[in-house]
Amino acid sequence: MMAYRSSEHETTGMTPNKLMLGREVCTPLDLAFELPREEMSIPVNKWVWELQERLETAHQMVRQNTGNALQRQKRIHDTRQL
């Protein structure tokens, strides 16, 4: 499940982790190579505000990407119906 949730989906253009948690999770590979984490110590209220902004932005992008994917899939479907 971790691989699925950390893989970018073609339709949404984002990973399920990013959409549900507002961030990417650390994978075993990140831990093995000690890749730097994005998070810093910030006050909780600021963190909550930033999380809400990130999630709203992500959901807007998903709506747009989903609309584009639907149009592309419809176009492909319609050309096969001839």
Q: At 3, which amino acid appears? A: A
Q: Which residues form the domain of 18?
A: 2-80
CA distance 12 to 25: 18
* Per-residue pLDDT tens digits for 20-56: 888 888 878 777 887 666 656 778 888 889 889 999 9
Retrieve residue 61's tokens: 């992008």
How many angstroms separate the CA atoms of 54 and 22, rounded?
Answer: 6
Dihedral-angle region of residue 27 (phi above 0 means left; psi in -120 to 50 means alpha; beta otherwise): beta
The answer to whether 5 and 15 have CB atoms below 8 angstroms apart is yes
pLDDT at 13 over 90: no
| CA distance linking residue 8 with residue 16, whole number of Å | 8
The domain tally of the chain equals 1
Q: Look at residue 3 and tell me whether its pLDDT is greater than 90.
A: no
- 39 three-state secondary structure: coil
